[in-house]
Amino acid sequence: MAPLPNPAEVTLSISLQRQQLQLRERNGTEVYRCYPVSSALNGPGEQSGSGCTPRGAHYIRARIGAGLPSNAVLVGRRPSGEIYSPQLAAAHPARDWILTRILWLCGLEPGRNRGGTVDSQRRYIYIHGTPDSEPMGIPRSHGCIRMRNEDLIELFELVRVGTPVLIEE
C-alpha cells in the first residue's frame, strides 16, 4: 500500500455493486485503502423516505464523533453516553444503531441528490459505524453507508470536511 497523502488530496469512491469504499488519490488512480461496506437493503435511489442509498457526487459536510470510543452510540448526531453491547441491543431491538463516528454527506447535484425531495443531507445520509454482528459486503442499511467501527475510526482520521465522495452503482 502506498504511503498516505495529506487529507486534502484524497477522495472517497463507493461502489454499491461491490459494497466497497475506496480511499483514493484525488487527482490520480492510486488506491490507499479499501473497506467493505453495507449500503441500503432497498438498493440505490434518491427519494426521501425510500430507504435507498443516493448515488452521485457528494462531499463530507461534517465529521462527528472525534475521540469517542469504538461502539459509542450516537443519537441525533450526538453521543448518547451509551456503549453498544449485545445486552443494550436486546433492550432496544428496533433501534438502527449508529456507532463510533459519522461522516455526514451532502449532495452536489441539484435535482439528483441536492434539494427538494432528493436532498442527501436532509435525508441524513451518513457513513457510520455499525455493530460487529452486522454483515459487511451485502446491502442491509436504511440508506446510509455502514462500516466496521475500526475501519471507520481509521478512515475518519484520513478525511476532512469537504472531501469528495462519489457513490456509484
130 occurs within a structural domain: yes
Q: Domain total for the chain?
A: 1
The domain that holds 136 is classified in CATH as 2.40.440.10
CA angle 159, 59, 25 (to 5 degrees): 50
Residue 1 above 60 pLDDT? no
pLDDT given for residue 2 in this prediction? 60
User: What Cα–Cα distance (Å) separates residue 46 from each residue in 40, 118, 165?
Assistant: 11, 5, 15
64 occurs within a structural domain: yes
* The amino acid at 124: Y
pLDDT given for residue 120 in this prediction? 98
1 occurs within a structural domain: no
Tens digit of each residue's pLDDT (9 = 90 or more) over 84-101: 999 999 999 999 999 999
Tens digit of each residue's pLDDT (9 = 90 or more) over 15-25: 999 999 999 99
Domain residues for the domain of 134 are 7-168
Tens digit of each residue's pLDDT (9 = 90 or more) over 9-63: 999 999 999 999 999 998 878 999 999 999 999 999 999 999 999 999 999 999 9
